[in-house]
Amino acid sequence: MKTDDLINLLAQDAPVRARIGQALTLAVVVGILISGAIFFAAIGFRADIDTAMETVRFLFKFVVTIALAVTAGAVVFRIGRPGVSLRPWGWMLLAAPLLLAAAALAEVMVMPADSWGARMIGHNGRFCLTFIPLLSIGPLACFLFALRQGAPEKPGVAGAVAGLAASGIAATFYASNCTDDSPLFVLLWYPIAIAVVTAVGYVIGKRMLRW
């Protein structure tokens, strides 16, 4: 049987669609619970969370991280089903980086140039690179196991998108602890941590999701 024929058969298999949908829904719930449990056990909210919630810079971090989690999560729900188009959600993955880039541009336009470097480097780069991947472990594992219930046409890409979704969840938790609220800091450190998780997802997915 040709690969295209097999894909078409799988795409028409209603039980497969139902099974992966249920598995991914459970993966989202369990993944968030695991990430949240690690977050509260290890670091928890920043000490000035009440004051921080009154500032635009702090709240905007969640706009970016939730946008990443939602758009990547939507792609994960589709990418495990062969023959299903990823449009328009594939393009929607650009939403988070574009929002962040716009915020960073606004920051450099209103802040003096001699403060840009300090704002970008911040004080918590090391913690960001540690805790976003750490908090991503649970969601990534859940997404990968759920995707095994489907038949991703490109296992590596599916794993990478699972990594994006997992890191979006993790970054949302971490943002509530991070005291560096400048979009310049987020623009530098968060993508590095997210890229690490995405790369791990790609490598594992390429092997684990092969069929």
Q: Residues 104-137: pLDDT tens digits?
A: 999 999 999 999 999 999 999 999 999 999 999 9
How far is it, in rounded angstroms, from Cα 67 to Cα 126?
Answer: 24
pLDDT exceeds cutoff 60 at 176: yes
Neighbour-count burial of 19, counting CB atoms closer than 10 A to its CB (0-12 exposed, 13-18 middle, 19+ buried): middle
Checking if the pLDDT of 17 tops 80, the result is: no
Query: If you average pLDDT over residues 138-150, what whole number do you get?
Result: 95
Better-scored residue on pLDDT, 154 or 163: 163
What is the pTM assigned to this prediction?
0.89
pLDDT attached to residue 4: 55
At 10 the pLDDT is 47
Instruction: Please choose, from the candidates 56, 161, 153, the residue with its C-alpha nearest in 3D space to the C-alpha of residue 106.
Output: 56
Please, which pLDDT band fits residue 35 given cuts at 50, 70 and 90? very high
What is the residue type of 169?
A: I
Tell me what the pLDDT averaged over the chain comes to: 91
